[in-house]
Structure 1
Amino acid sequence: MALSDADVQKQIKHMMAFIEQEANEKAEEIDAKAEEEFNIEKGRLVQTQRVKIMEFYEKKEKQIEQHKKIQMSNLLNQSRLKVLKARDDMIVVSDLHILNIICSKYPYLYPQGFYQLLEPKVTVRCRQQDVEMVQAAIDKDIIVYKDTVKSNIVVRIDQNRFLASDICGGVEVYNDNGKIKVANTLESRLDLMAQQMMPEVRKSLFGPNPNRKFLD
C-alpha cells in the first residue's frame, strides 16, 4: 500500500526530529566534555601559576633574608671595627702616657750590671743626653758596690759610642774587653717582662694547653 504525501511528510518530520534530538544530545555531550576539559586545564594552569608565584616569592624572601643577613654582618663588622679602633686608640694613649712616665723615671743607672759582671773594670754605654746623670749615679753606685762586694771597681762611660737617642733610658754595661754585655735599658727590661708573661698571656687567650704535662 502506497504512502500518501501526508504520511511521507510525517515520517520525514519524525526522522528530522530524531536527528535533531540526537544532534542536540551530542552537542550537549561535547559541551559538557569541553567544559570538563576546560576546567581541568584551567585548574592545571592555575596550579602551575600558583606554584610559580610561590616559588618566585620564596626566592624573593630568601634573597631579602640573605640581604638582611649581609647587612647585619656588615653592621656587626663595622661595630667591631669601631670598638677595636676605640680600644686601640685608648691603648695607644695609655701606652704613650705610661711610656712618658717611665721614660721620665728611668734615665738613671741600674747597678745590677756591676753585680752580674763582678769585673774589676767595666764600661757603661748610655744615651748622650744622660751622661751627666749616669755619671752621678755611677759615683753613688760605686760606693755601695765596694761596700757590698768588698772589691774595687773602675767604671768608665763610653764617650765614643752612645745608645740611640730614641730609647727611653737605661744603660748597657760591658766587661773590660766588651765581650760580655748586660742590657739594662727600658726596652730590654720590657722585652724580658714580655717573655716572662708570654705563657700567662697565651693561657688567657687560648686557655690551658691540654698537651702540657708539667706546669713547673
Structure 2
Amino acid sequence: RNTHICCCSVLLLCVSSQIKHMMAFIEQEANEKAEEIDAKAEEEFNIEKGRLVQTQRLKIMEYYEKKEKQIEQQKKIQMSNLMNQARLKVLKARDDMISDMLNEARQRLTNIAKDPSRYAGLMDGLLLQGFYQLLEPKVTIRCRKQDVQLVQASIQKNIPIYKAAVKNSLEVRIDQENFLPSDVSGGIEIYNANGKIKVSNTLESRLDLMAQQMMPEIRVALFGANPNRKFLD
C-alpha cells in the first residue's frame, strides 16, 4: 500500500510539473502574441499617422500654393491697373499740353488782324479759296463788322482772278446784317445763294483744320515718335 501511495505522489508531481510547463508555454505564447499585436498596432498607427500627416501637409502646401498664385495674380492685376492709370495720366497731360498750346495759338490770332498788310494778304487767300471751293455763280460773305471795307477791296481784287481761272461769272454780296461773332479773330464765312452750303474760312476754323492735319507732326515734335506705331498714315 505504501508503494501505491508513493507511485501516486510521483505521478501527481509529474502531472503538476507538466501543467506548470504548459501554463508557462501558454503564457509565453500569449505574451509573444500580445507583443506582436502591440507591434502591429504601433506600425499601423505610425503608418496611419504618416498618411494623415502627409495628407495634411499636401493640403497645406496646396492651400499656400493657391494663395501664392492668388497673390501673384492680384499683384499682376494691380500692376496692370497702376500702369493703365499712369498711361492715362500721361495721355491726359499730353492732351492738356496740346490743348493749352492751341488755346495760346487762338489768343495769338488776334495779332494777325492787327497787321494790315499781313491780314490783307491772308484775306485775299481766304476769299479766293472759298470761291474755288463753292464754284457757285452767287455767294454771300459774312465777316467781322470792322473788316467790311477790307473784304470789299479783296472781293474786287480777286473776282477777276477767279473768273480767269474758272471761266465763269461770280456775283458776291456781303451780309451786313449778320456779322461774325465778336469772339472771332478774323477771316470770313462764305455761303452759296440759298445758304445751305458754307465754307468756314475764319482764322479759328483754319487753325483747327491745320491742327487736325498736323496733329501727328505736332505730337512727334512735342513728345517724340511713338515706338509702337507701325504706320504713319
**Match for 1:102: what amino acid?**
L
Q: Does 1:169 align with 2:186?
A: yes
Query: 1:100: Cα distance to partner?
Result: 2.1
TM-score, with structure 1 as normaliser? 0.71
1:171-196 per-residue CA deviation (whole Å, 9 max, x = no partner) reads 13456776876543235545765887
| Correspondence for 2:127 among 89, 106, 111 | 111
Aligned length: 202
Aligned 1:24-63 pairs, distance under 5 A = 24-63=31-70
User: For 2:179, what is the secondary structure of its paired residue?
Assistant: coil
The one of 10, 17, 25 equivalent to 2:17 is 10
Query: Aligned-pair distance for 1:74?
Result: 1.9
Could you tell me which of 137, 146, 156 is aligned with 1:132? 146
Give the 5 Å matches for 1:76-91.
Answer: 76-91=83-98
Residue 221 (structure 2) pairs with residue 207 (structure 1)? no
The Cα shift of 1:138 comes to 2.6
- Counterpart CA distance in 2 for 1:131 and 1:38 is 106
1:142 and 1:45 map into 2 onto residues whose CA distance is: 104
1:157 positional shift = 2.8
Deviations 1:27-68, CA, capped at 9 Å, x for gaps: 111012112211210111111011111111101101110121
Aligned mate of 1:185, from 202, 213, 232: 202
More helix by share: 2
Distance change in 2, residues 1:174/1:48 (3 Å): closer
Q: CA deviation at 1:112?
A: 0.6
Aligned match of 1:23: 30
Aligned partners of 2:141 and 2:190 also within 8 Å: yes
Bigger Cα Rg: 2
Q: Structure 1 CA distance, aligned partners of 2:104 and 2:8?
A: 139
Matched residue type, 1:69: K
Aligned counterparts of 2:204 and 2:17: Cα–Cα separation in 1: 132
**1:92 aligned to which of 96, 99, 102:** 99
SS in 2 for 1:111: helix
* Mapped contact 2:191–2:198 kept (Cα < 8 A): yes
* TM-score of the two chains, using structure 2 as the length reference: 0.66
Distance in 1 of aligned mates of 2:153 and 2:146: 11
Q: Give the secondary structure class of the aligned counterpart of 2:188.
A: strand
Worse-matched range after superposition: 106-115 or 22-31: 106-115
- Matches of 2:63 and 2:173 in 1, distance apart? 87
Q: CA deviation at 1:131?
A: 2.0
Q: 1:102 to 1:14 in 2, by over 3 A?
A: same
Provide structure 1 residue ranges, at least 5 long, that are not aligned to the other structure.
210-216
Amino acid at match of 1:136: L
Q: SS at the partner of 2:63? A: helix
> In structure 2, which of residues 156, 159, 181 is the aligned counterpart of residue 142 of structure 1?
156
Alpha carbons of structure 1 residues 176 and 26: separation in structure 2 relative to 1, 3 Å? closer
1:20–1:169 distance in 2 versus 1, CA, 3 Å: same
Residue of structure 2 equivalent to 1:68: 75
Rounded to whole Å, the distance in 2 between the matches of 1:72 and 1:183 is 48
Aligned to 1:213: none
Distance 1:94 1:186 in 2: 16
